[in-house]
Amino acid sequence: MTQICKVTDCTEVSNARGMCVRHYNRWHRCGDPVFPTLAEKFWAKVNKTDTCWLWTAHTNGKPGYGSFCGKDERCSNGSRKKILAHIFAYELLVGPVPYDMEVDHLCRVRRCVNPAHLEATTHRENVLRGNSPAALQARRTKCLKGHPFDKIRKSGRRRCSICDREKELQRYIRRYGRVPKNNSRTISRLVASKEKANP
């Protein structure tokens, strides 16, 4: 007569010490035949400090986000699927991440899994909050020469009309080798706008 594994909710045939092969190997390695739940596995790798809850286990390399293996999910190549720690914490304690949204770290610490420091945002908002070149450019209010951006092109690029007029004048001089006729008004406007921008 075959016996069933003595571990609760296991329907495998017992092999040794009343346990199936899987639970026996777990007991032999760890001293406990019961596998921890995904949440228990997660919380064992979190160090709660006063502000951030820091992930202490594996990170996904250069990006630096905490990650760990899922329970039975598999990737297309057969390896176990990695779960990002901050997304797991958000879904465990707040709820599912809405469609077309990303989880953003408000504290800017990538290893943090504190749900108070996580917020679901759009990809655009997440990028603009960061320190990428696109975010730094979006926060600028003046051109490289210190003039304020005062024109917006159809493409959405912000422009400085003073620098644009200067470039147009330099282009004309390079092309024709002279200052355009009847340009005294343009030059005086250019000088006045420079004085206005740099009092």
User: Is pLDDT of 194 > 60?
Assistant: no
Distance CA 53, CA 32 (A): 28
Summarised one tens digit per residue, pLDDT across range 140-179 is 888 888 888 888 888 878 888 888 888 888 888 888 887 7
Q: Does residue 167 sit in the same domain as residue 127?
A: no
Q: Which residue has the higher pLDDT, 48 or 23?
A: 48
Place of tokens 């779960």: 83
User: Given the DSSP bridges, would you call strands 158-159 and 151-152 parallel, antiparallel or unpaired?
Assistant: antiparallel
Distance CA 102, CA 86 (A): 11
For 48, residues 6+ apart whose C-beta sits below 8 A from its C-beta are 114
Q: Which residue has the higher pLDDT, 107 or 152?
A: 107
- In a domain, residue 19? The reply is yes
- In a domain, residue 118? The reply is yes
Six-digit token string for 122: 């759009």
Confidence at residue 60, expressed as pLDDT on a 0 to 100 scale: 84
Its domain, for residue 176, covers: 151-197
Given a contact cutoff of 8 angstroms between Cβ atoms, the answer to whether 11 and 4 are in contact is yes
**What is the average per-residue pLDDT within 57-70?**
83
Distance CA 11, CA 5 (A): 6
Given a contact cutoff of 8 angstroms between Cβ atoms, the answer to whether 67 and 85 are in contact is yes
DSSP assigned state of 91: H
- In a domain, residue 6? The reply is yes
Confidence at residue 4, expressed as pLDDT on a 0 to 100 scale: 81
Q: Does residue 8 sit in the same domain as residue 43?
A: no
User: Is pLDDT of 28 > 70?
Assistant: yes
Q: Does residue 116 sit in the same domain as residue 131?
A: yes
Q: Does residue 68 sit in the same domain as residue 52?
A: yes
User: Is pLDDT of 73 > 80?
Assistant: no
Single-letter amino acid, residue 118: L
Confidence at residue 61, expressed as pLDDT on a 0 to 100 scale: 78
Confidence at residue 189, expressed as pLDDT on a 0 to 100 scale: 64
Q: Does residue 171 sit in the same domain as residue 76?
A: no
Q: Which residue has the higher pLDDT, 116 or 180?
A: 116
Average predicted confidence (pLDDT) for the chain: 81
Q: Does residue 131 sit in the same domain as residue 99?
A: yes
Q: In the chain, what percentage of residues exceed pLDDT 90?
A: 18
Confidence at residue 199, expressed as pLDDT on a 0 to 100 scale: 55
**What is the average per-residue pLDDT within 78-84?**
72
Q: Does residue 90 sit in the same domain as residue 121?
A: yes
Confidence at residue 56, expressed as pLDDT on a 0 to 100 scale: 92
Q: Does residue 46 sit in the same domain as residue 132?
A: yes
Distance CA 112, CA 54 (A): 5
Given a contact cutoff of 8 angstroms between Cβ atoms, the answer to whether 117 and 107 are in contact is yes
Bridge partner list, 80:
74
Task: Say which CATH number the domain at 41 has.
Answer: 3.90.75
Confidence at residue 183, expressed as pLDDT on a 0 to 100 scale: 60
Number of domains in the chain: 3
Q: Does residue 40 sit in the same domain as residue 127?
A: yes
Confidence at residue 80, expressed as pLDDT on a 0 to 100 scale: 65
- In a domain, residue 125? The reply is yes
Q: Where are the beta strands (DSSP E) in the chain?
A: 46-48, 53-55, 67-74, 80-84, 102-105, 118-121, 151-152, 158-159
Distance CA 121, CA 47 (A): 25
**What is the average per-residue pLDDT within 104-119?**
92
Six-digit token string for 174: 């390079």
